[in-house]
């Protein structure tokens, strides 16, 4: 099995130490070099797999980089291995306090360095895999309800900072219980996968987010999108599912195929959009979309509701759990 080369951000200002590090690590890893705190902070945008951080950088202290990494939710899981030539324990204790995983002393011992780097890279990969599994729906590969709960308040606050709207689309399969009862759960699972795949094809992969939140229900978050944009996408999704549903599975007779005589898959869709405001809970957006979905079901299913923009959401005190 071939693995991608890990990216290590090396923050070191001593030329001799840098040459030694490069000789030891460059054959198995991609090295990103910073010789001061400012450059290191800029290079954090490269999202390295591990940071090898000298605690003494001229007049600066590497602890500044460490504290910045651990304060950023998008970076805090990156393991930071600190380097010191001092025999004082105060700096090491401070590094551990801010979240360093371990330390190594100069001059470098090649075996110890490689062992610690490989150990924490392996741990980082396993942590990332566990995180992905915990936040991904196993059947469709989409993000799950846990991810919706985590990303909704973050997106809402970002849109509020940019004074932009945000839309939510709720999608629910029509008579999904009938599909399971008549065709069986294997066809039901394939139907869920088909709808999830259709949603992923319809949205903008660079901005929109799709979630399966349970059973046959999905949510799409559209940052920066107003009501008309959400309505247009909702209609696109509804039409795409209806037109494609008869051909979504292998026909009878193919190996592993299913008998699909008479099966029709449609979805009901509820949409809501609002200008993001920090004093309004983002959960209200989801509640409005969910209420609209109920109206779509009441209107006969296989429809998008509402067809015209309703009144704007009134400001309410934000739910503290949704904005944390």
Range 168-192 burial, b when 16+ CB lie within 10 A, else e = bbbbbbbebeebbeebeeebbebbb
What are 63's two structure tokens? Answer: 């602890």
For 96-164, strand residue ranges (E) read 102-105
How far apart are alpha carbons 172 and 192 in whole angstroms?
A: 10
Beta bridge partners of 214: 217
Q: Which member of 72, 216, 247, 319 is catalytic? A: 216
Q: Is 122 a catalytic site residue?
A: no
DSSP 245: G
Three-state secondary structure readout of 5-53: CEEEEEECCCHHHHHHHHHHHCCCEEEEEECCHHHHHHHHHHCCCEEEE
Rg (CA), the chain: 26
CA dihedral sign, ordered 229, 208, 288, 233: positive
Catalytic residues: 216
């Amino acid at each position: 099995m071939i693995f991608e080369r890990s990216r290590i951000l090396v923050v070191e200002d001593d030329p001799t130490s840098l040459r030694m590090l490069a000789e030891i690590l460059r054959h198995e890893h991609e090295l990103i070099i910073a010789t001061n705190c400012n450059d290191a902070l800029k290079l954090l945008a490269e999202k390295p797999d591990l940071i090898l951080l000298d605690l003494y950088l001229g007049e600066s202290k590497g602890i500044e980089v460490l504290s910045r990494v651990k304060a950023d939710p998008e970076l805090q899981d990156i393991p930071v291995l600190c380097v010191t030539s001092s025999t004082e324990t105060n700096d090491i204790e401070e590094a551990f306090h801010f979240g360093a995983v371990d330390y190594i002393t100069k001059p470098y011992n090649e075996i110890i360095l490689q062992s610690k780097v490989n150990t924490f890279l392996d741990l980082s990969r396993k942590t990332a895999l566990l995180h992905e599994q915990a936040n991904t729906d196993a059947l469709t590969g989409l993000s799950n309800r846990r991810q919706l709960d985590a990303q909704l308040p973050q997106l809402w606050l970002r849109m509020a900072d940019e004074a932009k709207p945000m839309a939510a689309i709720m999608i629910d399969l029509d008579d999904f219980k009938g599909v399971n009862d008549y065709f069986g759960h294997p066809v039901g699972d394939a139907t869920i996968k088909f709808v999830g795949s259709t949603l992923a094809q319809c949205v903008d992969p660079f901005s929109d987010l799709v979630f399966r939140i349970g059973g046959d229900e999905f949510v799409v978050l559209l940052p920066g999108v107003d009501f008309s944009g959400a309505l247009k996408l909702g209609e696109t999704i509804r039409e795409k599912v209806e037109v494609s549903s008869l051909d979504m599975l292998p026909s009878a007779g193919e190996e592993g195929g299913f008998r699909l005589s008479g099966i029709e898959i449609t979805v009901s869709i509820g949409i809501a959009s609002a200008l993001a405001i920090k004093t309004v809970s983002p959960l209200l957006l989801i509640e409005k979309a969910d209420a609209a979905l109920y109206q779509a079901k009441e209107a006969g299913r296989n429809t998008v509701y509402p067809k015209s923009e309703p009144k704007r959401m009134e400001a309410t005190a934000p739910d503290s759990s949704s904005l944390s």
